[in-house]
Amino acid sequence: MIIYNVTIKVDANAASDWVKWMKDEHMPELMKTGLFINSRLCHLLEQDETEGLTYVAQYFCDSIEHYNTYISEYAQQMREKGFARFASKFTAFRTVMEEEFQCAV
């Protein structure tokens, strides 16, 4: 399992609009590419929020090939939509992880 992890710091004044956009537009559009099997948006707790609220969007795909296809064919367009809508009201950094082990109770 490949996990595409995007950590985002959002200006507190824009956070509620940004979360709504993520839930209603951005994440559903990304899922419609058919390259990911699941996604989630989390609000990081116990963070210094003086410069904004911190969120993590995670997108799960079953192969590195699907992730690479997303990056080469969709990522730039998807990012541009976020910048067009929220401009300087957020910063983001991205990481990619490969799941090694999962333990369920």
Residue ranges of domains in the chain: 2-97
Backbone dihedral region of 52: left (phi > 0), alpha (psi from -120 to 50 degrees) or beta?
left
Residue 71: the pLDDT is 97
Residue 47: the pLDDT is 84
At the second CATH level, the architecture of 2-97 is 2-Layer Sandwich (3.30)
pTM metric for this prediction: 0.91
pLDDT tens digit sequence for 48-82? 888 899 999 999 999 999 999 999 999 999 999 99
Angle at 83 between CA 62 and CA 22, to 5 degrees: 50
**Sign of the alpha-carbon dihedral angle for 24, 41, 67, 85:** positive
Cα dist from 61 to 50, 88, 89, whole Å: 34, 29, 28
Residue with tokens 């997303």: 70
Count the helix, strand and coil residues of the chain and give each as a percent rounded to the nearest 5: 40, 30, 30
Residue 77: the pLDDT is 96
Packing angle between helix 64-73 and helix 75-86, nearest 10 degrees?
50
